[in-house]
Chains A and B, each alone.
Chain A
Amino acid sequence: MTTGPGPVGTDPVRGRSGSVTSRVLDLVGIAVVSYWFVRTGLADAAPAWVWIVGTVALAAWLLRVLTGSDRVLVVATWGMVLAGATVVVPTGALMVAVPLVGVVVLAARRPVWAGPVAAVVALVLVAATAVVAGAPVTVVLGTGGGLLLAAAVGSGRRQARIAEERTRQAEVERQRAELLADRTRAAREVHDVLAHSLGGLVLQLDAVEALLEAGRVDEATRRAGEARVLAASGLAEARRAVHALREDVPAPPTSGPAAPTDLPALVAAHRSFGGTVTTHGDVALTAVDAAHRAAVVAAVREALSNARRHAAGRPVVLSVERDGDAVRVTVANPLGPGAGTPDAGGPDPDGPGTGLADSGGPARTGDGHGVVGMRERFAELGDGSALHAGALDGAFVVTMRVPGVTS
């Protein structure tokens, strides 16, 4: 063939398997069959009806190749089958190509039964003309075999097209799932940043209010300054998160006060909010690589933020322990008044929102997204890292386990 690979074969829009190559093949077939039809017709002095029906069959074939309309295509193809099959015997089986092509086309389309029915109709027509002309039964049986084969080829094409369609749908589904995963990631980033800084801000402003009511203006001014620093750092953090979501790369350091990105800074921030925290072990996390350290820091930040919201004023214990090849980080705080009571001491350490349910109050506006996000972040690491959060013996405990760097 002189044409390049047809661009239409995989075109989802046109929905028919008419590539440029197969069109050219069709046209060549029409030309060859027409030539031999005229030549043998003249030589054998064929009767007028054979000329007419044969011409109709060839015209239907041409119409099928050239038409863009689906309805015309179906009518033309049935014309090929009916007219073509009628002149198979009178033309010495020359015209058998026309009904064969017609059956292949019909079998490759819906409805499923069209191909087999067309094949049987063509066979009946061939047998009827053979009876009238007294042709040998071998012609009829041979044509029948060919028609059967054509129906099989056509339905094979249909199956291939269906398989292609399914593959395309699966690809669309996969892209959708990817999009949803991206959205989940974005939601988690936004939660991490905003819950931390806005939650801290609310606490600071509560304190400012209380100090002002008590007439301690100096302390209130100092608190307000800290609140401003926290707000600025939250803003910088939010900018960084948005940048990371847009670019999908770690953001460059932004101007403004940096948000705490390691455990000592988080501990210091917690203390500056008036919290009490005791640390044990290597808080600098030197035995953990950067990716795991980021996950641990995010989770600890969330845990400290939750402790401030739900158990304000209670002492928090942060410990880092080496556990064989792994490193275990634990954040524990006694349950605050009312906080976690539905689950306190309950055997459900993994229930989403356990101990984090809303318990009223202006600063208590959590709905468990934090725990879900923490767990997802650890699951995404995909190397056995795990996070458990839940109430245990009157305390809310968050335990993280990450692989340590083997030296």
Chain B
Amino acid sequence: MSVQLLANIVIGLALVGYLAYRQATWRSVDPTRVWRAPLVLGAVGLVVLAQSAAAVTTLDVLFLGVEALVSIGAGLAMGAMTRFRTAAPDTEGRTLQARTGWAGAGLWVVLIVVRIGLDVLGGHLGAHLLTSTGAVLLVLALNRAARALVVDQRIPRPATGMMVR
């Protein structure tokens, strides 16, 4: 197990732990900003991936594709699990709050286990692009984007005047 792989696992675990905590607690959401995090993450991931300048193989594409599918699937499920409530306005005047709950946090753990498994398997088969930081960020961005896609459609809009639960 290379040092970079180990570092990636540690960074990934820390990130996933933080995100799992955030998902399990009520957080203010801004309907106009649900797409910001996935876009930023995706852009940074693409730039980092391009900087790594490693030769892309078909095996890389295969493993990245599988990871993307798993990540998107988890994101869609998280989006579907998200619950909304209205609360007193926060410092920025947002009244809408959302959380995914502990089931969503559990999905993160599943996601990270699958990812580590694929990392190890891909590393053995020669798919080295998979373990790069850019790929990690890109897969994370896909997960957030899939969640945003579902959340964006389920957000209770003031125009409908209804709470969606």
Contact = CB atoms under 8 A, between A and B. Distances in A.
Interface string A301-327: 000000000000000000000000000
B68 interface: yes
Interface stretch (B2-10, B53-61, B93-101, B102-110): B53-61
A121 B73 CA distance: 11
Contacts of B150: 112-113
A120 B57 contact: no
Interface residues of A, number: 18
A117 B56 CA distance: 22
A178 B149 CA distance: 38
A131 interface: yes
A127 B61 contact: yes
Given A127-B61, A128-B62, A131-B58, A113 B69 contact: no
A141 interface: yes
In the A-B complex, the 5 residue pairs with the smallest Cβ-Cβ separation, listed nearest first, are A124-B65, A127-B62, A130-B58, A127-B61, A131-B58
Contacts of B19: none
Interface string B70-102: 001100100000000000000000000000000
B57 A137 contact: yes
Nearest to B65: A124
13 contacts: A113-B76, A113-B146, A116-B72, A120-B65, A120-B68, A124-B62, A127-B58, A130-B61, A135-B58, A136-B58, A137-B57, A140-B61, A141-B61
Interface residues of B, number: 18
Given A113-B146, A117-B69, A123 B61 contact: yes
A112 B62 CA distance: 24
Contacts of B32: none
A91 B10 CA distance: 43
Contacts of B146: 113
Given A117-B72, A124-B66, A141-B56, A112 B153 contact: yes
A18 interface: no
Given A130-B62, A140-B61, 19 more contacts: A112-B150, A113-B76, A113-B149, A116-B72, A117-B72, A117-B76, A120-B65, A120-B68, A121-B69, A123-B61, A124-B65, A127-B59, A127-B61, A127-B62, A127-B65, A137-B58, A137-B61, A141-B56, A144-B61
